Amino acid sequence: MDEILEILEKDARTRPEEIAKMLKKKPEAVRGAIKKYEKEGVILKYKTVLNKELTREDNGDVRALIEVKITPQKNLGFDRIAERIYQFPEVTSCYLVSGTYDLLLIVEGKNIHTISNFVAEKLAPLENVRGTVTHFLLKKYKEDGDLLKQPSKEKRLAISL
């Protein structure tokens, strides 16, 4: 991957002048490369990673991972059914995976009931869906390579004999 993209992926707030200095390039060249990546769709958007546990707002949002077994459609494979599923507003991410299930969804809702209703009323009844398994996320420690909470350094008591 391009060095400019690697730097931006780690911290999208890095200014082109800083990137140019790091890579010993001209700022105009870096700005031009970034604009090109944005135009081509390589850079889709810039995003902030939040540790929602520290925002002091108890919005109650619940996230779940849902494993979905599907029957691929003739001549269309998994793409058509995946497209239908990821159009639901509850679905924040949708991946085709190898293994015992076909799709992995990340779903968000106001509470457990919202997610269970999504599965029961929208997802499971779809024609090509053969089965689902839902896992509710209880706590996030690390997301997209970012630690959400620094590990506490426990002080162990010395044991002497």
Domain 60-138 bears CATH identifier 3.30.70.920: yes
> Which contacts qualify for 32-40: CB closer than 8 Å, 24 or more apart?
33/2, 33/4, 34/4, 34/8, 37/2, 37/4, 37/5
The H-or-E segment that residue 16 falls in is helix 16-23
Task: Specify the range with the lowest mean pLDDT, choosing from 27-36, 91-100, 134-143.
Answer: 134-143
The predicted structure's pLDDT at residue 153: 64
Domain ranges of the chain: 3-40, 60-138
Bridge partners for 108 per DSSP:
63
Residue with tokens 């707002």: 57
Taking 60 as the threshold, does the pLDDT of residue 58 lie above it?
A: no
Query: Could you report the per-residue pLDDT of 101-151, keeping only the tens digit for each?
Result: 999 999 999 999 999 999 999 999 999 999 999 999 988 888 878 787 765
Q: What values do phi and psi take at 148, rounded to 5?
A: -90, -20
User: What SS3 class is residue 8?
Assistant: helix
- Give 116: exposed, middle or buried? Use CB within 10 Å, 0-12, 13-18, 19+: middle
Confidence category of residue 155, pLDDT binned at 50, 70, 90: low
Q: What values do phi and psi take at 111, rounded to 5?
A: -160, 180
